[in-house]
Structure 1
Amino acid sequence: MTARATADSEERAPWLPMVGLFLAQMLMSFNVAALPVSIGGMVEDFGVPPTAVSTAIVTYGLMVAALVMVGAKIGQRVGWLLVFRVVVAAFAGSALMMVLSPSVAWVIAAQAVAGASAAIIVPALVALIAANYRGTQQATAVGSLGSARALSGVSAFLIGGTLGTFVGWPPVFVIVLVLAVAVFLFSFRLRSAAGNKSVDIDVLAALLIGAAIVALTLGFNNLNGWGLLQATREAPFDVLGLSPAPLLVLVGIILGQGFLVWTRYRTGAGKVPLVSLSVLGSSRERAAVYAMFIVVALEAALNFTVPLYIQIVQGRTPFDTSLAMLPFNLTVFITATLVVRSYERFSPRVIGVFSFMLTTLALLWLSFVVTNNWETVPTILGLIVFGIGQGALVTLVFNVLVTAAPKELAGDVGSVRGTTQNLASAVGTAVAGAMLVGILSLNVGQAVINDVDIPDRLIAQVDLDQVNFVSNDQLREVLTRTDASEAEVDAAVRINTDARLRALKLGLLILAGVSALAILPASRLPGYRPGEIPETLVARDGPTGPDRDRSTDGTVLEK
């Protein structure tokens, strides 16, 4: 027997309030995308190294990931609408700090405020969508957040690149300020239930998950700089010669497990946990989180790899990078917008498996056709296919989580989403960097040993322990400080060019393997369509659990 909810029976809510939520997602995503574009201008204006400016990017991500679960509880206690307006105003303040920043310390402080604000905005978006929309409208609203994220990435690169080149970086954050003001005004069109003063905030759980996220993010982000196993000279300390980066990852995993154990204990004792693990109660919901982590990590890895080659290897500008990424970002935006229409025809399982097949084929294709020029037609085609799969997946898995949980747990779903996406982004970027540099080091070391045109005296003058991605012009400049002949310089440049390309190809091939493995969790996504109750399931009121699911219209289902 199959029951369907018809679109005619739904009470249609006006879309105008959703404009504010759409712009709120754009606000956060535009801020994040504008930071890398602005690094060059900040370095020049403040007279600091790029690493000092990149600290601001890390600070933002850390604040979001570490505080998002606490932010969800604050929203439940105070009231989503009130706290949403307060943090949007705080985000506007952070944008004003960016525009008026006299030093890089102000930039870092501004991004700390923006990150703390985003930690509440992220779950608030889910809770406010759940409060204002139902059924297919809710699915469309959730899908629009994915398209807003993609659209802001496109606009930030294009607008930021243009303003940064011809005007300067501060005007980029004037746009962030304007967006924040617009979101605040649109918030008066939203409705939400009042806060629940009885909601407690589990301080121990907050400390455990916050410390776990900080340790994991710092560990993964510094795998390349501090060393994958042995500590490098850049490492702040070592433990018996071991790098602190993998040790921080291990500490983060232990703290994360401690958080889960404590949360289960607190739930069993009848107390309110920091986040309800019932939002991950079924294998389908856990599969959605795994799929979300993998696809965001893959996206972050690709977003790291393309600018790396265009700006560092080819020595081109951020504006060139934005043009190269435009086909990918536009594809993600269009797909995230349109994929909702396929929910009535195909189950999340079918869409998820097919989308991961697309990302796998795209990465596999890129690993064979990519060259040192990203503007070839085969490369652009590969980026477009990957964008189709990625855009569909980010929207799909988020929608599965939102519709599988009751409305009162929407904030918890938002906090899980925020933690997963920010941690996955950090892991994807860091692992891609460590992997590519590691492969490059092996390629260069092997090529130098086997190449008869590179004598031992020249090898002794170059530190092969510090191999990294550099342009051919930078390499020639380094070699001018040695006694290398013109023929030896040409040989070194040839080795550098070949080693970089082989590292890129092998790196993309490894990412394709990760994408292929992700088909397994995707195959555990719900196998029914919205409003449809399979014959093996019986509708029942009550909380979701390991053997229960919800259809995408919120009906609780039990086998």
Structure 2
Amino acid sequence: MASRWGAVTVLASAQFVMTLDSTVMNVSISTVVKDLHTTISAMQACITFYTLTMAAFMLLGAKLGDVWGRRRALVIGSIVYAVGSGTTALAPNIVVLFLGWSVVEGLGAVLVIPAIAALIADNYSGHARVTAFAAIGAASGVAVAVGPLIGGFLTTYASWRYVFAGEVVIMAVVLLFRNVVADNGERLRIRIDILSVVLSAAALVLIVYGLLQTKTWGWILPTQQNIKILGISPVPFIVGFGAVLLWLFFLRQRRLIRLGRPPLLNTAILRLRQLRAGVGSLGIQYTVTAGLFFVVPIFLQLSLGLDALSTGLRIFPLSVALVLFSILGTALARRLSPKLIARIGQYGLVLSSLVLLGSVDTKLDNWIFGTGMFLAGAALGLLASQLGNVTMSAVGDDELSEAGGVQGCTRTWDRRSGRR
């Protein structure tokens, strides 16, 4: 049993780290601003650039997993991520934190995230694969659960820097036990098309950046009169230009396929209904999770004046429910279809939203608010238990990295939600 589940333990540890620092930073943001003598706007810029780094290079990171080997991509990405975490832990100012967190960690993540998804699918099959993907979802849930508490405790009584130092230790453990993860995929001896990389990076960066700026610039009507194009917000122009580049990217991929050359992304997988459904639902899950774990802590700290630990305790019901219902969703998968479980989770999000809207008062400390957070966590846990397996099971073994890259791109939306 130990050897059978060794791979998912290692990969879940890496997934834990991929999620942890953002939840820690969300409850620690005001303290980090004070420690580094910076501003909330500068911290939001760091979050924005982390998102843009992932958006720009996620598809490339997935393809490098095919070229280098998925386990090697995991190893290289883990090393890069650990270097970024160490740099962030020692950051004396916002510039160094930006380089360590937003740039170096982001580059490591674009290798690790697609590799995790592909290696889970490569190491497990049948119900074991469902369980393994649920474990990955639960690892994210645990990070979401303990992140605010760890961040709140360390920020209140020690320093937020210890969290990033701890991430270095966890990634070192992942590297130490890397050989328990099998890599059965064949390495591709191909030349990556540079034009495809440029087009995909530029398109995704423009689209994500445009959406990130909606709060500052507005969707259509400009909220800042000195920043407008032809009398309206720049957002539609930026997103529209990004959409044009994305269309050119798809044309380029089809041309490469016709010429018998390897594309950066086999666009045929996007026509798979199961993959589209899984990726779309993952996008919703990430968006809701990130929105709750960014907006709520900021409101609790900056508007209500709570410290980081009190903020973490207010969020704890959602965190606990997310972990518990990730486990429950896996057990239900033996009797219910993934579609039904995911649908229950989506209905649960609607219900939790109604409860949360009815709970808002000046303190957000009544039992209705706690119930709403618990229901939101339960719904997200059910989704987390199914969606990874639904997405990755839609493709063949030779397309696992590409599907992992597409799935990884949805993680950029969680940062977008936090910026709104």
- 1:411 paired residue among 378, 401, 404: 401
Per-residue deviation at 1:339? 0.9
Matched with 2:220 is: 229
Moved over 4 A (4+): 232-235
**Partner Cα separation in structure 2 for residue 208 and residue 187 of structure 1:** 33
Relative to its length, the structure with more helix (as a share) is 2
| One of 403, 417, 420 as aligned partner of 1:428 | 417
The structure-2 alpha-carbon separation of the partners of 1:37 and 1:371, relative to structure 1 and needing over 3 Å to count, comes to: closer
Is residue 312 of structure 1 aligned with residue 306 of structure 2?
no
Answer whether contact 2:55 2:409 (CA < 8 A) is retained.
yes
Quote the sequence identity (%). 27
User: 5+ residue gaps in structure 2?
Assistant: none
- Map Cα deviations across residues 524-554 of structure 1 (whole Å, 9 max, x no partner): xxxxxxxxxxxxxxxxxxxxxxxxxxxxxxx
Matches within 5 A, 1:168-187: 168-187=159-178
Segments of structure 1 that go 5 or more residues without pairing to the other structure are 1-10, 434-559
Residues 45-444 of structure 1: matches in 2 within 5 Å? Answer: 45-111=35-101, 112-193=103-184, 196-233=187-224, 237-422=227-412, 424-430=413-419, 433=420
SS for the counterpart of 1:404 is coil
Superposition deviation, residue 373 in structure 1: 2.8
CA distance in 2, matches of 1:39, 1:60: 15
| Larger RCO: 1 or 2 (CA < 8 Å, sep 6+) | 2
- Relative to structure 1, the CA distance from residue 349 to residue 45 in structure 2 (aligned partners, 3 Å threshold; closer, same or farther) is closer
Matched pairs, number: 419
Of the structure 1 ranges 29-38 and 329-338, higher mean CA displacement relative to structure 2 is found in: 29-38
Deviations 1:306-327 (A, max 9, x none): 2243123212222222111110
Contact 1:205/1:274 (8 A) holds in 2: yes
Query: 3-state DSSP class of the match of 1:374?
Result: coil
How far apart in 2 are the matches of 1:294 and 1:168?
33
> Partners of 1:388 and 1:138 in 2: how far apart?
21
CA gap of 1:109–1:311, structure 2 versus 1, over 3 A, is same
Q: What amino acid is the match of 1:126?
A: A
Q: Which one is further off, 270-279 or 316-325?
A: 270-279
Whichever residue aligns with residue 279 of structure 2, its letter is: V
Cα shift at 1:229: 3.0
Match of 1:550 in 2: none
Distance 1:254 1:178, change over 3 A: same
Tell me the secondary structure at the aligned position of residue 187 of structure 2.
coil
Q: SS state of the match for residue 410, structure 2? A: helix
- Where does residue 541 of structure 1 map in the other structure? none
Which residue of 33, 36, 42 maps to 2:26? 36
The alpha-carbon distance between structure 1 residues 339 and 158, as it changes in their structure 2 partners (threshold 3 A), is same
Aligned-pair distance for 1:393?
Answer: 1.4
Distance (Å, rounded) in 2 between the aligned partners of 1:358 and 1:99: 38
TM-score by length of 2: 0.93
Between the aligned partners of 1:308 and 1:359, the Cα distance in structure 2 is: 21
- How far is 1:234 from its partner? 8.5
| Contact 2:3–2:180, Cα closer than 8 Å, also in 1 | no
The answer for the alignment partner of 2:4 in structure 1 is: 14
